[in-house]
Structure 1
Amino acid sequence: MDFLFEYFSCTALALLSALLLDRWLGEPQSWHPLIWFGNWASRWRNAWQLHPTAPKTLQRLHGVGVWSVAVLPWVALLVLLLWLLPSWLEWLVGTVILYFTIGWQSLREHAIAIAKPLHAQDLPQARAAVGRIVSRDTSALDETQIAKASMESVLENGSDAIFAPIFWFLLLGPAGALLYRLSNTLDAMWGYKTPELLHFGWCAARMDDVLNYLPARLTVLTYALFGNTKRALWCAWHQGRGWKSPNAGPVMAAGAGALQVSLSGAATYFGELQVRPTLGKGPEPKVNDLDQAVRLVDKGVYLWALLILVLL
Structure 2
Amino acid sequence: MNHLQFKRHRRLRRTDNMRALVRETHLHKDDLIYPIFVLEQEDMKNEVPSMPGVHQVSLNYLTEEMNELTSLGIRSVIVFGVPSEKDELGSEAYNREGIVQQAIRQIKKEVPELTVIADTCLCQYTDHGHCGIVRDGDIANDESLELITKTAVTQAEAGADIIAPSNMMDGFVAAIRAGLDEAGYSQIPVMSYAVKYASAFYGPFRDAAHSSPQFGDRKAYQMDPANRLEAIREAESDVEEGADFLIVKPALAYLDIMREVKDRFPLPLVAYNVSGEYSMIKAASANGWVNEREIVLEKLTSMKRAGADLIITYFAKDAAKWISE
TM-score range, shorter chain: under 0.3
Question: TM-score when scaled to structure 2?
Answer: 0.25
Q: Which protein has the bigger helix share?
A: 1
Structure in which a larger fraction of residues adopt strand: 2
- Scaled by the length of structure 1, the TM-score of the pair is 0.25
